[in-house]
Structure 1
Amino acid sequence: MGVKGLQYFMDRCCPEACVTVNLREMARQHIVNNLHGCTSTADTNSCTLVVDGMACLCHWYSCKDWVCGGQWKEYVDVLKSWVEAFTSAGIRLVFFFDGVVEEQKRREWVKRRHRVNRDVSKIFSYVKEHAEQPGKDLFCLPSGLATFTPFALRSLGQEVFCSVREADYEIASYARQHGCMGILGQDSDFIIYDSAPYLSVAKLRINSLTTIIYDRQRLCRNIGLTVTQLPLLACLLGNDVVSEEQMQHIKNNAMATYRRNNPAPRSGAPQGQMVLAVAQLVSSFGCREEKQAELVPQSLNVSAPHRELLKKGIGSYLLPGHKDFELVDISSLPSAFEKHVSPEISKACREKHVAAEGFMVYSVVCAGVTECSNSLEDEEDTELLPQAVVYKLCRQRIYGLLLLLGQDGSTVDTPVMREWFVFPGNPLKEPDLVSPFPITLPCDQPSLDLLWFSTGPEVSALRLTAFLSVFDCLEYSELYGTIEDSHLAALCLVTYIVLQVQTLSQEDVDAYLSQAVCLRLKSPQELQQIELPLLSSRAVQLGSLYVRGLSHLLGANTASGCPLSNAALMPWRSFDGRLFHSKYLLAHRGIETNELLDSDLSCLSQFHQLKEKLLETCQKRGRVLQSSPKGPQQSLKPTPGVRYRDTHSGLPLGVGEGWRGRGRGGTAGGHQHGQSWRARGEEGRDRSVYENRNRPWGRGGHRAGGQHFHSFYPDCQDGRPQNTRRPANQSRGPSYPNRGRYQLAPRWSRPPAP
C-alpha cells in the first residue's frame, strides 16, 4: 500500500531526503530532547519505536523453508533475537498489525490477492517440475504468519495492538500521541502523516541498528511544497483511497504541463517525473487560507464525485490533534450484530481484538465480515478441497455460537456473514454470504455472557463442550487434562479435516499426528537439519491446510470462552513444515510406525492413543479411512546433477524399496484430466447447487491419468487403489451437501478437458 511512485521517487530521485541513522544514537538524542521538553517519567526514561508488523513479516521470516508450511520454532527464535537487539539498545517496541480491511480499500485488497494467486500457481508448477522449493523470486510467506506473529510477540513480552481501522492510521496516531522516536515500516503513507519520523525496515541492519530515515521536510524542500500539501499530493498520485486510475486525467495534464515547462526534466525516469509534475500542480494552488474550511482547493478542476473522493482521501491522513481533524467524519458504526449480543460482549470483542488476544470474534460481531488472504493451494489438484471450503462448516458453527443462533428456537432475522476468502477459482467480485449454523450441545444453548464472564467448574465444562462441538469432537472431552492441550487441539483439527476431506488417507493422518507428537522433542536446530530428498506438492498443500486450521481452532477457542490456552493452539506447539514434510514422505513410503515416531516410546504411545480416538470417532460417523500411498508427482523432472536420496536407507530414490517406478510414465504438468480451479471457477460459481448434492465435492478425483497412476500402483482400477477388504459399494463416509456458493461439480460429472 502507500502513495503510488513516492517511495521510488525518494529512493531514486531524492537521495538528500534519505538519511542514514544509527538507532542507538537516535534513541539517546530522543531521550535528551524529552528531558528538556517534558516532565513525564515514562516519557523521559524510555524511547519508543512503533513497528508496522505487517511490513516486517517478510523481513522477519528468514527461515530456510517457507513452502512446506513454515518453520515456526525457528521463526519464534528469530523474533526473539530481533526484539533483543532493540531492547539492548534501550529502545521500547510497540507493534501494530492490520485487524480489518476497510471497505474503501477492498478493491485494492482484491487486486493484491489475485496477483499473489498468480505467484502461488507458479510456485506449485515449480515444485511439481523440480521437486524443490523455488527461489526468492517466487517467495511467499507461510500461511497464517500474520495471524500468529502477534501471539508470538506477546509471548516474548512485547506490547502488541491489532487495528480496528487502517493500521497505518493507528500507527501514525499512536506515534504522534505518545511522542515516539519513530515509525519502523515500509509504506510511503508514513511520509504523508504529520507524525513521528519514518524509518525503513527494508534498509534496517539489525546487527548495527542502522537504517534510512525518510525526511519529509527535505522532501518538501526538494519538490517545492509545504508539509500541509502532502496529503493532496498523495491523493492525486493515487493511494488506497483514491486510485491512480481515477486521477489519471489530472496526472496526464500535469505531466504535459511539466514537460512544456521543463524541456530538460530533473529526473529521467517517468515515475520521478510524475511526482515532480503533480507536485508542481499542487504548489500552483498555494497554501490554503486558515479560514477556508475545505480540504480540496476550489481551483482544482474536478467533478463533484471526485472532489468528495479527494476529501475522503485527504481526511484519511488527518490525525487527532491536527487543526483540520474536525473536518473528517470519524463517526463509528454500531456493531453489525449488536442486537444478537450484549453490550458487554461487543466491548469484550473489541478489547480482545485490539490487544491481539482473540481471533475472528471482533470481525464477526462488530463488522459482520471475515476474510482470509492467500494460501498455498494448488489450483490443478482436484483431490484436495480449498481451505475456505474445508473450514466453512467450522466457521458457520463459530458464527452460530457467537450470535446465539437457535437459543430461542427462532429463525427469524437470521444474520448473514460476508466472507472474503481467497482460493483458486474465486473471482472475489463480491463476498460469499454465509449463514451461521447452530452447534449441537447436550444442554440448552449457553449464554455467551455465561461462557465468557462466569467462573466455576460447570462453566469450564460448558466452554470445553462448546469448543469441541465446533469440530464435532465431543467424545474428546474425556481426554481433557490427560493429554497435552496442544495434542488435544491437533487431534480435533485432524479429525475435522478427515471428516471434511474424503480423499485424506491413513498415510496423511499418520504424517499429521506423528509430527505433532514428535515436535516437542525437536529443537529448532534439529528441525533445520532434517533432510528432504524431494518436495511433494500435495504435502505442501496439506501443510498449509493444517496451519489455516489452527487459526480456526483459535477462533473457536475465543468464541467458546477460551477452554484451552491460546498458547496451546500456536503452530510452534504442534507443527513444523519441514518435519511434517519428512513424515509425509516416510508415511507414504510405508515405513514402520516405530521408525515414523523416531523409535521414541513416549511418542509412540501418544501417537497410538490419538490415532485410536480419531479412528473411533470417524467410525461412528461412517467415515472409513483408507490407505492410499502416494508416489512422487508424475511430473517430477530431476534437477540436473542432483541425485535424490531416500531419507531412511540413504540409497538413491528408485533403488531397493524407495519410491516405486519414479519418473516412469510422467506427464509434464502432471494433470491431464480435469480443468484447473481457476478455469472452472467462473462456470462453477454460477450454478445454484451441485450437480449431485449427495456427493462430496471432488471425491474420486486423482492426480494424473489412469495409465500413469498404474505405473506406480498396478493393483488399481480407474486410477484408484483397490481395497479388497471393503465391499465395492460401501460408503467412504458421509457426504456434506450444500457447502455454500463454491459451486464446482464433482469431477466425474464434468467432461474431460480437451
Structure 2
Amino acid sequence: SLTWRREESAGAGRGLYLSQSSAMGVRGLQGFVGSTCPHVCTVVNLKDLAAQHRSRHPACTPTVVVDAMCCLRYWYTPESWVCGGQWREYFSALRDFVKTFSAVGIRLVFFFDGTVEQGKRDEWVRRRLKNNKEISRIFHHIKSHRQQPARNMFFIPSGLAVFTRFALKTLGQETFCSLREADYEVASYGLQHDCLGILGEDTDYLIYDTCPYFSISELCLESLDTVMLCREKLCESLDLHLADLPLLACLLGNDIIPEGMFESFRYKCLSSYTSVKENFDKKGNVILAVSDHISKVRRLHQGEKKLEDILPLGPNKALFYKGVASYLLPGQKSPWFFLKPKGITALDKQVITMSSDPESKQDVPKCTDPESQQDVSMCTDPESRQEVPMCTDPESKQEVPVYIDPESRQEVPVCTDPESRQEVPVCTDPESRQEVPMCTDPEFRQEVPVCTDPESKQEVPMCTNPESKQEVPLYADPVSKQEVSMCAYPEIQQKLPIATDSEFKLEASIYTHPEIEQEDPMNMGPEIKQEVTMVSDTEILEVARTHHVQAESYLVYSIMSSGEIECSNTLEDELDQALPSQAFIYRPIRQRVYSLLLGGCKDGISSCPAVKEWFVYPGNPLRHPDLVRPLPMTVPGGMPSLKLLWLNQEPEVQARRMDALLACFNLSSSREELQALESPFAALCCLLIYLFVQVDTLCLEDLHAFIAQALCLPGKSTAQLVNLQPDYVNSRAVQLGSLLVRGLTMLVLVNSACGCPWNTSEFMPWNVFDGKLFHQKYLQSEKGYSVEALLEQNRSRLTKFHNLKAVVCKACVKENRRIVARAHWGTHHAGRWGRQGSSSYRMDSGYSRSGQGQPWRDQGPGHRPYEHDQWRRY
C-alpha cells in the first residue's frame, strides 16, 4: 500500500515536504486517492517496466518524461539549504540520478516551466504570497536560534530551477523549456512518443489521458521502485470514463478554475448524494458526490446541456470551457463539448481541440457531436468570439457556421440578427440555390461573412488561404478593427499596426508569429491564437525561441515574445532595512538587456515599450506587474544588432559580444582588467563589482568572504563540503548568499542575450559558490580573521586573492565607490551597524541613497511604471 508521507533516508522527511506540492493540480484529489482509493496506487519497478517495454518494442528505447519542476525538492538532498545552496553536492545528486536510470537502459527527457500562462497567474501569485509568509518564519527562526530551521520549513535555494537546466545539459540529458505550462507539454510528449511514463508530482497527470504516471516522491532511487497512479482505476472507483476526468477536475477546482467558483454546486451535489460514508473526510465525500452527479448526467439525453444549465457559470463560461479543454491533448476530443452557448466572454489564448484538415494540411478546431459521434469543424463566432461548429456548403465547397437543430439533430447554417444580436438559421433560395444574405453589424459596419446576397449580388469579403488556395470568410475584429480570417489559419502571417494594452496603456509593435513545424513536440498544444510579440524580426525571434525550448537561455524569449517575465521568491528578510531586494539591485541590468533585445530607445525612454515584471520582493502585493522601461546604454562601437551577436560567426564578433555584456553591467571601463582574469573569476568579479557599486551597505569584510570562498572552493572535495559546519547561521549572510546566486542568474540572462561571449560553465554556481563555505568565510571575516586565515594558509591563493580584490576595488573607485572596512563606516551607513533607517543603495548613475530612508522598500504596490528621475535610471 502507498505511504504518502514516507520518511526517506537521504534527507529525512522528503515525502512529507513533497506533500507541500499537492496544491498543484486538482484540489483535494491527491489526498483523496491516498486515503479513499489506495488501490489506484500500485508499487511498480521501473527497471522491470523498462524490460517489458523493450520486449514489446525492440526498436524503441524506454523513455521516462520528467516534470523537472516537480522533482526539484526530491533532487535537492543536501542537508543545508538556507545558506544559498550546496551546489557541488546538488550537482553530484543529479549525476547519481541520471546514472541510475542510464544503467538500466531508461532514457530521460526533462521539461521545465518556461512561462506562466495568464489563466494561472492568480494561482502563481497566491503561492508566491504564501511563500513570503514562510520566508518570514524562516528568518524569525534564524534570528531566534542562530541555526537553520528543521526540514519541515525547507525552502528551495534561489535559482535552483534555472541552474538545474544547465546541470542536466552538462550531464548530457535532453532538456526542454516549455512554451506554455510544462504539465501540458509533458503529457503531450509522453502520449506522442509512447513513453514508459511520466515522473512527477502533480495530480493533473491523473486527469490527462496520456502514458502512465509515476510519483517522484515515492521513488526509491536504489531499487527504482515507485508508485504508479492509475487513472483507469480511479475512473472505476468513481464510475466515470476517462473523458469525464477533465470535467471533474474543473468542478473540483484546479490551477485554472478557482476553488470557490463551483462551491455551491459541490454543496448541492453533496446534499443529494445518498452514499455518504461517515469514515470519509469532507473533501473525499465531495469528490464522490460530484463524480456521482457527472455519472448520472452522462446517462441522460443531451446530458451536457443539462449540466450546463445546472452549473452557476454566469460570466465564467469561457473560463470553464478553457479549463476543461486545457486537458485535451493533440488529437483528443471531449464528449462534453456540445454547441457552446452564445454570449461567452472570450479569453486570451482560448483553448480548444485541434484536428488536421486533410485539404489544407492545417490544424483546424474540431468538436465531437455526442449524438452522431462525428467530428464537426469549428470556427470563431464574430459576436461571442467563441468557436462554433462549421459545415461545408456543397455548392461552394466552403465551410460556414452551423446551428444544430435540437429537434431534427441536423446542421443548419446560421447568421446574426442585427436586432437581437442572436444567431439564426439562414434560408436557401430554392431557385438560385443561394443563401439569404447576411446582415451588417451596425457597430463595426462590417458584413458578417458566410454567403452572397442573391439580390444585391454583392460578395462578402473573403481572403485566400495560401495553402489550400480556398477563400476564407473574414470578420471584423472589434478590438483591432482589422479584417481577420473567420477560421484561424496559423500560416497566415498578418502584420498589424501599433496596439495599446487596454489595462496598462502600453504601446508595442504587434507581430503575428509564423507557424511552427507540427513535428516540434514543444509546439504541441490545443491553442489557436495569434501570438503578439514585442519583436517583429521573425528570424531572430525564431532563434530566441529555439534557444528557449532547448533550455539554453533565461528570460530572453519571454522578453522578446510577450514582454512579460517573472521571478519567484528569494530568501530575503523583509525586516532587514540594510539590504535592498535583489529585484531592485539587478533591475538596471535587466533594463539594459531590454534595450538590447527590443531595439533600444532612440526617441527617449518614454517611447520605449515597457516590460511587465512580476518580481517578488517584500511589500509587493503582486496585484499588478511593475512596468519597467529599457535603459539606454553605451556600447563601444555602437549598439550591435542581435543578428550580429547571435548569427555572425566571424572571430572579430566575439569582441563585440563582450563589449555588449560589459555594457549591460555598466563596466565597459573595466574591460581590460576583467579580460586579464582567468576563468571562472572574470564572471564572478564582474558580478561583485556591480554589486558593490550598487549597494553601499556592502563592506570590505563582505568582499573578502566572497573572494575567499571562490578561491577555496576548487580545493574542496564534495565530501569535505558535506562535512563543513559553520559555527552558527547569520541572517545577513543568508541574504548575501541568495543575492549572489540571483546575480549568477543575471549573468545567464546577459550572456545569452549577448550571444554567449562567456562559456556558461564559468558562472555555474557549482564552480564559483558554495553556501556553507561562504557562510564560514563570512563569519570568519566578520570576526576579523586575516586574509591568510581566510585562505587556509595557502600561499598560491594569496596572490590570486589580492589580484581579484584589486580589480574589484579599482573598478568601484571609477564609480566613486570606496569599499571600506565596517569599522571605518560613518553614521550614514544603515542597518545593524549604524543609524536605523538610513541605508544606502546606489544606482548606476552614481547617485547614492544615503540618508533617504529605504526607497527600495517603498517602490509602490507593483503597478507604477518606472520613469527616469533623480534616484532611478529606469
TM-score bin, normalised by smaller chain: 0.7 to 0.9
1:67 touches 1:540 (CA, 8 Å); kept in 2? yes
Instruction: Give how far 1:733 is off.
Output: 6.5
Residue 211 of structure 2: aligned partner: 196
1:394 touches 1:471 (CA, 8 Å); kept in 2? yes
Instruction: Give how far 1:333 is off.
Output: 3.8
**For each residue in 1:461-491, what CA deviation from the matched residue of structure 2 results, as whole angstroms up to 9, or x when unmatched?**
1100110111122234224554333211110
Instruction: Give how far 1:248 is off.
Output: 0.8
Instruction: Give how far 1:529 is off.
Output: 2.3
Instruction: Give how far 1:404 is off.
Output: 2.1
1:338 aligns with 2:535: yes
1:13 aligns with 2:36: yes
Residue 644 of structure 1: aligned partner: none
Residue 136 of structure 2: aligned partner: 121
- Unaligned 5+ residue runs, structure 2? 1-23, 335-352, 355-364, 367-525, 839-844, 861-874
**For each residue in 1:672-711, what CA deviation from the matched residue of structure 2 results, as whole angstroms up to 9, or x when unmatched?**
xxxxxxxxxxxxxxxxxxxxxxxxxx973222xxxxx6xx
Residue 286 of structure 1: aligned partner: 298
Larger radius of gyration: 2
**For each residue in 1:439-479, what CA deviation from the matched residue of structure 2 results, as whole angstroms up to 9, or x when unmatched?**
21122211111111112233111100110111122234224
1:735 aligns with 2:848: yes
1:362 aligns with 2:557: yes
**For each residue in 1:410-458, what CA deviation from the matched residue of structure 2 results, as whole angstroms up to 9, or x when unmatched?**
6574110000111111111110000011221122211111111112233
Residue 25 of structure 1: aligned partner: 48
Letter in 2 for 1:230: L
Once residues 329 and 752 of structure 2 are traced to their aligned partners in structure 1, the CA distance between those partners, rounded to angstroms, is 32
Residue 450 of structure 1: aligned partner: 644
Letter in 2 for 1:283: S
Residue 256 and residue 140 in structure 1: after superposition, are their counterparts in 2 closer, same or farther (change >3 A)?
A: same
Residue 84 of structure 1: aligned partner: 99
Instruction: Give how far 1:743 is off.
Output: 2.7
Structure 2 length-normalised TM: 0.70
Instruction: Give how far 1:629 is off.
Output: 5.9
Residue 708 of structure 2: aligned partner: 514
Residue 33 and residue 630 in structure 1: after superposition, are their counterparts in 2 closer, same or farther (change >3 A)?
A: farther
Once residues 168 and 322 of structure 1 are traced to their aligned partners in structure 2, the CA distance between those partners, rounded to angstroms, is 16
Residue 345 and residue 744 in structure 1: after superposition, are their counterparts in 2 closer, same or farther (change >3 A)?
A: closer
Residue 582 of structure 1: aligned partner: 776
Once residues 296 and 7 of structure 1 are traced to their aligned partners in structure 2, the CA distance between those partners, rounded to angstroms, is 29
2:570 touches 2:738 (CA, 8 Å); kept in 1? yes
Instruction: Give how far 1:310 is off.
Output: 1.4
Residue 410 and residue 117 in structure 1: after superposition, are their counterparts in 2 closer, same or farther (change >3 A)?
A: closer
Once residues 133 and 319 of structure 2 are traced to their aligned partners in structure 1, the CA distance between those partners, rounded to angstroms, is 31
**For each residue in 1:337-360, what CA deviation from the matched residue of structure 2 results, as whole angstroms up to 9, or x when unmatched?**
123xx2111101111111000111
Instruction: Give how far 1:531 is off.
Output: 2.6
Matching residue within 576, 579, 582 for 1:384: 579
Residue 734 and residue 317 in structure 1: after superposition, are their counterparts in 2 closer, same or farther (change >3 A)?
A: same
- Unaligned 5+ residue runs, structure 1? 36-40, 632-697, 704-708, 710-716, 722-731, 746-754
Instruction: Give how far 1:202 is off.
Output: 0.8
1:3 aligns with 2:26: yes
Letter in 2 for 1:504: L
2:297 touches 2:306 (CA, 8 Å); kept in 1? no
Instruction: Give how far 1:249 is off.
Output: 1.2
Letter in 2 for 1:702: G
SS at the partner of 1:247? Answer: helix
Residue 699 and residue 494 in structure 1: after superposition, are their counterparts in 2 closer, same or farther (change >3 A)?
A: farther
Letter in 1 for 2:126: K
SS at the partner of 1:420? Answer: strand
Letter in 2 for 1:331: I
2:829 touches 2:835 (CA, 8 Å); kept in 1? no
Once residues 30 and 96 of structure 1 are traced to their aligned partners in structure 2, the CA distance between those partners, rounded to angstroms, is 22
Once residues 310 and 295 of structure 1 are traced to their aligned partners in structure 2, the CA distance between those partners, rounded to angstroms, is 14
Instruction: Give how far 1:735 is off.
Output: 2.0
Structure 1 length-normalised TM: 0.81
Letter in 2 for 1:253: K
Once residues 202 and 195 of structure 1 are traced to their aligned partners in structure 2, the CA distance between those partners, rounded to angstroms, is 20
**For each residue in 1:230-281, what CA deviation from the matched residue of structure 2 results, as whole angstroms up to 9, or x when unmatched?**
00000000001111111111111111112xx12x517521121111011011
Matching residue within 818, 822, 831 for 1:628: 822
Once residues 549 and 534 of structure 1 are traced to their aligned partners in structure 2, the CA distance between those partners, rounded to angstroms, is 25
2:298 touches 2:304 (CA, 8 Å); kept in 1? no
Letter in 2 for 1:628: R
The structure where helix makes up a greater share of residues is 1
Residue 316 of structure 1: aligned partner: 326
SS at the partner of 1:161? Answer: strand
Instruction: Give how far 1:587 is off.
Output: 1.0
Residue 480 and residue 567 in structure 1: after superposition, are their counterparts in 2 closer, same or farther (change >3 A)?
A: same
2:215 touches 2:228 (CA, 8 Å); kept in 1? yes
1:485 touches 1:564 (CA, 8 Å); kept in 2? no
Instruction: Give how far 1:719 is off.
Output: 7.4
1:235 touches 1:242 (CA, 8 Å); kept in 2? yes
Letter in 1 for 2:52: Q
**For each residue in 1:494-525, what CA deviation from the matched residue of structure 2 results, as whole angstroms up to 9, or x when unmatched?**
11111111100010111111111221121111
Matching residue within 204, 213, 222 for 2:237: 222
Matching residue within 280, 291, 304 for 1:268: 280
1:464 touches 1:563 (CA, 8 Å); kept in 2? yes
Residue 226 of structure 2: aligned partner: 211
**For each residue in 1:216-243, what CA deviation from the matched residue of structure 2 results, as whole angstroms up to 9, or x when unmatched?**
1111111111111000000000001111
Matching residue within 589, 597, 613 for 1:394: 589
Residue 572 and residue 469 in structure 1: after superposition, are their counterparts in 2 closer, same or farther (change >3 A)?
A: same
1:296 touches 1:311 (CA, 8 Å); kept in 2? no
Once residues 415 and 539 of structure 1 are traced to their aligned partners in structure 2, the CA distance between those partners, rounded to angstroms, is 37
Letter in 2 for 1:10: V
SS at the partner of 1:245? Answer: helix
Letter in 2 for 1:223: L
Residue 177 of structure 1: aligned partner: 192
Once residues 164 and 694 of structure 2 are traced to their aligned partners in structure 1, the CA distance between those partners, rounded to angstroms, is 28
SS at the partner of 2:261? Answer: coil
1:254 touches 1:277 (CA, 8 Å); kept in 2? yes
Once residues 532 and 823 of structure 2 are traced to their aligned partners in structure 1, the CA distance between those partners, rounded to angstroms, is 49
